[in-house]
A and B are shown apart, each in its own frame.
Chain A
Amino acid sequence: MKNSKLKKILLMLGIMAMAVVFAGCGKKTSASTVKHITYWHVNAQTQGGAAVDDLVKKFNDTHKNIKVTAKYNPDMYKGLMQNLQSAQASGKVPDITQVGWAYDNYFASNFKYMTPTDAAKKFDGNNKFIDGNFTKRTLSFAKDSKGKLVGLPYSLSTPVLFINKDILSKYNIKEDSLSTWEGIKEASKKIHDQSGKYGLYIQEPGDTWAQQGIMLSHGADIQKGGKAAFASDNGVGAYKYYQEMVTSKLALHTPWAQGMDSFVKGDVAMAFTTIAQASHIKKSASFNASAIAAPHFEGHKTVVPVGGSMLAITAQDSEQQKAAWEFEKWMYKADAAVTWSKGTGYLPPTKVALESSAFKDYVKENPMLDPAVKTLDNAVPWTSFPKKGLQAEQAMIDARDKILSGSDVKSTLGAAQDKINAEQK
């Protein structure tokens, strides 16, 4: 009796387990009429996630044959890349993926994707959409080290110099003197000598994006012919300037969150950071805040690496790819791109959106964006080394940390450069 009861229970458990297993393997059956595609993005609710949801809803309402599901991936592009790896391993990849510039080469050489050029050729029969919407410069941001277009640029950002106008006017510093790094040093000295406050903060997140901008604006190359080249005299000069600013307490050296906190509280007069911080500064600063274009060194011009992301088609099935391409094209329409830009603080990537009256009105309301838009003409792709690019970025972060802790600039940069080049053979 007992035995049969036990058998029954075991049988029930077994059936339940099988049901769970098979439910997991279920296939979509409604595919014949409506195409379901998934879009992976990194925008949390506080960083434009609401705008993404809004756009997806609008798209779904106007397209009866395609249903898009947006999935938010925490921890920015790094988190998304980690999830994409698991997805690839399980064979269930998203159809459209937002990829950060720093992952350009890693993504291109490890994942299966359809290039926008192929998509345009296959589904439109021409290249009009790409040529009509993007400048050559903008497209260059999304190319891998072999010159192949991996995705379409989706969000753009440039570093700008945010300024505390109240402090500057208190110590009689003119804004136009801040167009060069030399001018910024002088201003910082004036502020520090008279108030004890820091003059400048340069963002220090888990990448060297801003620091690359300083080197580039001193005439240095980050890479040349696929090899690291930043330990040149110009590169060393730029970092010596940065190190001196920190050791003489003119510039604050601290993690990003604390540095920005100090700027919005008025303890630091200027902050060199991404334009994506504009809305945070506008909301949190109690002083008169403004932004000016990224500075350069005397005798050189401003050159900055572009920040942001691209959209890549990761769908494998031809029908899915077609639906993904349809959705992507819709997302690049001027009003959609401007909505997204407003939600995230990034700049729209297309010519049409940048020149649209909606975006121009938005810039008028938020004049801090103006220098960032103008700097786009001086932007270059974010350096992504062909081999072991993520480790190369880490080598540059390590060099930055060492230099700011007082290490010799020339030998530290030289060692980092050698380490990166040893992998590029």
Chain B
Amino acid sequence: MQNKNKKFLPFLYLLPTAILLIVFLIVPILYTFYLSFFDWNLIAPTKEFVGMRNYLEVFTDPVNQKVILNTLIYIVFLVVLNFLFPYFISLIVKFFISKMQGAYKVLFFIPSLFSLVVGAMVFTWILNPVSGPLAYVLKNVGISMPNWSNSGILAITVICFITNWKVFGYNFILLLTGLGSIPKNIIDAAKVDGIPKWRLIWNVILPMNQGIAIYVLILTIVQGLQYVFTPINVITTGGPYYGSSNMIYQTYLNAFVLYKTGTSSALAIVTFVIFLILLFIEIRFVERKAKNYA
């Protein structure tokens, strides 16, 4: 009896989580996969089977190609702004500034408390190229502000900066906490050996902080692409001519604005696979590297 219970109990404990995962994650993913082979407007009683047409459209349609390219640009920008930049600042705060560490933490974290919709609206106002405060300041110095919402790459840059405003503090605190948990005796030993600070950081600190760094990097890509959705939706709605759209916004646009469920599902599945591959490469690559240090 006791033994039977022991076998049965772990499954019982897992059941609530498993049910939640199955209902809200596995089933929707499978259903999305199923829908990606149909042409359906979300409500009509009949779905038309179209085979691989939706997938072909994802890769051959020039708009989708543009959107995939934009997604890659977003990833590069997000990694630089939301991962490398806070990492750099957290290293400076930890190892080069000894005072007011707590104050920096609070200051940088404040924007994380605000909603992105609020952030997007405030930045739309500040960065209005004709009538925003920044445009007025620049005008007084004799510089005219470029109309960024008419250029895809500038719009992407602005949108990435808005998400940077939101997530910088959070990522900064995570990385700083990681740096703080490195055993002090190792750092002291390195200092006793007279190793220069940059070598200490490169050869000791960075490898030892890899766990947190990988986590933040993955978060930056996967969550970042979802975070940019809000400013895209509020400011540019993907424009100019899909110049600032990414795969997640495009999935939303196809599903809930145009009711092209098939195309949207195919895009969602492709995005899902890309995310899986990215995470796989990232973890494998970094884990292997981590083992080398071990």
Of chain B, the residue at the smallest CB distance from A400 is: B241
Of chain B, the residue at the smallest CB distance from A89 is: B43
Q: For residue A254, which residues in chain B have a CB less than 8 angstroms away from its CB? A: 128-130, 147, 149-150
Which residue, A106, A268, A402, A405, has most C-beta atoms of chain B within 10 A? A405
- Say whether B215 faces chain A, with CB atoms less than 8 Å apart: no
Contact present for A405 and B259 (CB under 8 Å) = no
Contact present for A3 and B5 (CB under 8 Å) = yes
Contact present for B130 and A262 (CB under 8 Å) = yes
Q: For residue A206, which residues in chain B have a CB less than 8 angstroms away from its CB? A: 237, 257
**Assembly CA distance A237 to B211 (angstroms):** 61
Q: For residue B256, which residues in chain A have a CB less than 8 angstroms away from its CB? A: 78, 82
**Assembly CA distance A11 to B237 (angstroms):** 51
Interface range, A side: 20 to 34
Of chain A, the residue at the smallest CB distance from B234 is: A257
**Whole-angstrom distance from the CB of A12 to the nearest CB of chain B?**
15
B-binding segment of A53-61, A133-141, A390-398: A390-398
Q: Which 7 A-B pairs have the closest CB atoms?
A: A401-B241, A265-B131, A262-B131, A110-B43, A262-B130, A267-B131, A258-B128
Q: What is the interface of chain B, defined by CB distance below 8 A to chain A?
A: 1, 5, 41-44, 63, 121, 124-125, 128-131, 147, 149-150, 235-237, 239-242, 256-260
**Whole-angstrom distance from the CB of B69 to the nearest CB of chain A?**
17
Contact present for B43 and A78 (CB under 8 Å) = no
- Say whether A118 faces chain B, with CB atoms less than 8 Å apart: no
- Say whether A129 faces chain B, with CB atoms less than 8 Å apart: no
**Assembly CA distance A26 to B260 (angstroms):** 34
Q: Which residues 363-409 of A sit at the B interface, judged by CB distance below 8 A?
A: 390-391, 394, 398, 401-402, 404-405
Of chain B, the residue at the smallest CB distance from A206 is: B237
- Say whether A124 faces chain B, with CB atoms less than 8 Å apart: no
Contact present for B128 and A262 (CB under 8 Å) = yes
**Assembly CA distance A106 to B240 (angstroms):** 26
Complex A-B: 20 CB contacts under 8 Å: A3-B5, A82-B256, A85-B42, A110-B41, A198-B130, A206-B237, A254-B130, A255-B237, A255-B239, A257-B121, A262-B128, A267-B130, A390-B257, A390-B259, A391-B260, A398-B63, A398-B242, A401-B240, A404-B150, A405-B150
- Say whether A126 faces chain B, with CB atoms less than 8 Å apart: no
Tell me what chain A mostly uses at the interface: helix, strand, loop, or mixed: helix
Q: For residue A185, which residues in chain B have a CB less than 8 angstroms away from its CB? A: none
Residue from the list A88, A110, A268 in contact with B130, Cβ < 8 A? A268
**Assembly CA distance A390 to B129 (angstroms):** 31
**Assembly CA distance A391 to B258 (angstroms):** 6
Contact present for B259 and A106 (CB under 8 Å) = yes
**Assembly CA distance A390 to B260 (angstroms):** 10
- Say whether A111 faces chain B, with CB atoms less than 8 Å apart: yes
- Say whether A166 faces chain B, with CB atoms less than 8 Å apart: no
Of chain A, the residue at the smallest CB distance from B144 is: A196
Of chain A, the residue at the smallest CB distance from B255 is: A82
Q: Which residues 70-89 of A sit at the B interface, judged by CB distance below 8 A?
A: 78, 82, 85, 88-89
Instruction: Given A82-B256, A255-B239, decide whether A261 and B149 contact each other with a Cβ distance below 8 A.
Output: no
**Whole-angstrom distance from the CB of B124 to the nearest CB of chain A?**
6
**Assembly CA distance A397 to B1 (angstroms):** 69
Of chain A, the residue at the smallest CB distance from B260 is: A391
Which residue, B63, B129, B237, B242, has most C-beta atoms of chain A within 10 A? B237
**Whole-angstrom distance from the CB of A111 to the nearest CB of chain B?**
7
**Assembly CA distance A198 to B129 (angstroms):** 12
Of chain B, the residue at the smallest CB distance from A246 is: B150
Contact present for A405 and B240 (CB under 8 Å) = yes
Q: For residue A253, which residues in chain B have a CB less than 8 angstroms away from its CB? A: 147, 150
